[in-house]
């Protein structure tokens, strides 16, 4: 997930603009992108053909790379707005052995209990971890 911007590399691979293998540019750079009516900075990865353009477009992003770009964009948005990133959510979920459904119920509940979700990120993490702990404790209590 962690991807740092780096100078453009030239690599030899198939190019969808030329429909053949040749030297193309591999970009990993910081970019400002729109998301949910906002703009956030995030690292984007893509390829560019230095030879051909189709409809003024000369760059492309294969499916898997596109997914990673979107994930990083959403994470950058979450960090900017003091929300947990996808990696943090997964690690909390694993730590407490919660299903996706259980965790999303819990987040809905946490959002109801603390309408002011614009806490500093460190405080926000503690708040969520506290709710997870509380919920887990209650669940164990209900079971017994």
Residues that bind Zn ion (CB under 5 A): 15, 17-18, 49, 51-52
Q: Which is nearer to Zn ion, 9 or 41 (CB)?
A: 9
Using CA atoms, how far apart are residues 122 and 82, in angstroms rounded to an integer? 9
Q: Which is nearer to Zn ion, 48 or 80 (CB)?
A: 48
Using CA atoms, how far apart are residues 129 and 125, in angstroms rounded to an integer? 6
Least distance CB 24 / Zn ion (angstroms): 6
Using CA atoms, how far apart are residues 5 and 38, in angstroms rounded to an integer? 22
Q: Which is nearer to Zn ion, 46 or 96 (CB)?
A: 46
Terminal Cα-to-Cα distance of the chain (whole angstroms)? 40
Using CA atoms, how far apart are residues 86 and 50, in angstroms rounded to an integer? 35
Least distance CB 54 / Zn ion (angstroms): 10
Least distance CB 58 / Zn ion (angstroms): 8
């Amino acid at each position: 997930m962690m991807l740092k911007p780096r100078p453009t590399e030239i690599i030899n691979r198939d190019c969808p603009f030329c429909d053949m293998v040749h030297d193309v540019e591999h970009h990993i750079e910081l970019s400002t992108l729109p998301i949910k009516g906002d703009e956030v900075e995030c690292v984007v990865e893509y390829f560019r053909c230095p030879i051909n353009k189709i409809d003024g477009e000369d760059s492309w992003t294969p499916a898997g790379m596109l997914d990673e770009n979107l994930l990083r964009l959403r994470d950058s948005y979450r960090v900017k707005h003091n929300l947990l990133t996808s990696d943090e959510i997964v690690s909390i979920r694993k730590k407490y052995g919660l299903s996706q459904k259980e965790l999303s119920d819990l987040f809905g509940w946490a959002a109801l209990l603390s309408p002011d979700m614009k806490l500093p990120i460190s405080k926000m993490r503690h708040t969520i971890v506290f709710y997870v702990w509380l919920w887990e404790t209650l669940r164990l209590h209900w079971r017994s």
